[in-house]
A = this chain, B = another copy of it.
Amino acid sequence: MSHPSYTCRMATDRDTVLEAAVGVLSRRPTAHLDEIARAAGISRATLHRLFPGREALIREVGLLGLQRFAAALDTAVVEDGDAEAALRRLVDAAVPDAALCAFLAGENQLYDDDHVNALWDVQIDRLHALFLRGQQQGVFRIELSAAWLSEAFFDLIAGVGWAIQDGRLAPRDAAFSITELFLGGALRRHAAPNPPQSTARSARTTETDTP
């Protein structure tokens, strides 16, 4: 406590451990502390030194996830400009932390913590506002409520997080898959015989992986 340099190094350690914890907890919420410690490459004793107990660890994982998602909303500047472009930016910013989001989606009602819940509500409200704005701009459909769009969007992010962890989806395909499906849907557009459809804004790989 006397040497501030130590506390600085501790911070990075904590985040490293939390990231490792997510990898285990997002798949198996009931994982023992032994597994989490092993996944983080530390001993159970050190894990207990970093976090008072299991409850605190879970709480901080959730907090980290919410902070990351909030940061994604920030970097995507979702409150500015065209809603569609904002959403595309958000996907790109959020996909790297999809595992965190998967954890949040699985445990979001497990929290009794006010701080976590408040932070959660803020982010969901920002998402909600984005879709509402998009609807007002005439960008998003109005038959689907903004609340449902928020819900579904987060479900897809979380689903991608799980799929990546289980090896069912390549990380490089994640952002494209979410964006295209969420914005355009699964249905193919056959407006005209010639296909001037969505003008492939980036030459993404269109391979169909067969697991």
- A185–B182 touching, CB < 8 Å: yes
Q: Which residues of the other chain, B, contact A173 by a CB distance below 8 angstroms? A: 145, 148
**Shortest beta-carbon distance from A177 to chain B in Å:** 5
Q: How far, in angstroms, from A170 to B139 measured CA to CA in the complex?
A: 24
CB of A151 within 8 A of CB of B141, answer: no
- Specify which chain B residues have a CB less than 8 angstroms from the CB of A166 in the assembled complex: 109
**Interchain CB contact under 8 A, A148 and B132:** no
Number of copies: 2
A84 to B189, CA, bound (A): 13
**Do A132 and B186 have beta carbons less than 8 Å apart?**
no
- What is the distance, in angstroms, from A191's C-beta to the closest C-beta of chain B? 7
Q: Are B186 and A168 within 8 A (Cβ)?
A: no
Q: Does A206 contact B (CB under 8 A)?
A: yes
Evaluate contact between A148 and B181: CB separation under 8 angstroms.
Answer: yes
Q: How far is the CA of A91 from the CA of B139 in the complex (A)?
A: 26
- B149/A181 in contact, CB under 8 A: yes
Contact status A151-B180, CB under 8 Å: no
Produce 1/0 per residue, A42-64, CB < 8 A to B: 00000000000000000000000
Q: Is A190 in contact with chain B by the CB < 8 A criterion?
A: yes
Those of A149-194 within 8 Å (CB) of chain B? 149, 151-156, 158-159, 162-163, 166, 168-169, 173, 177, 180-188, 190-191
- Could you give 6 example pairs across A and B, Cβ below 8 Å? A106-B106, A131-B186, A143-B206, A155-B155, A155-B158, A184-B185
Contacts from A to B (Cβ < 8 Å)? 27-30, 84, 87, 105-106, 109-110, 131-132, 134, 138-149, 151-156, 158-159, 162-163, 166, 168-169, 173, 177, 180-188, 190-191, 197-198, 200, 204, 206-211
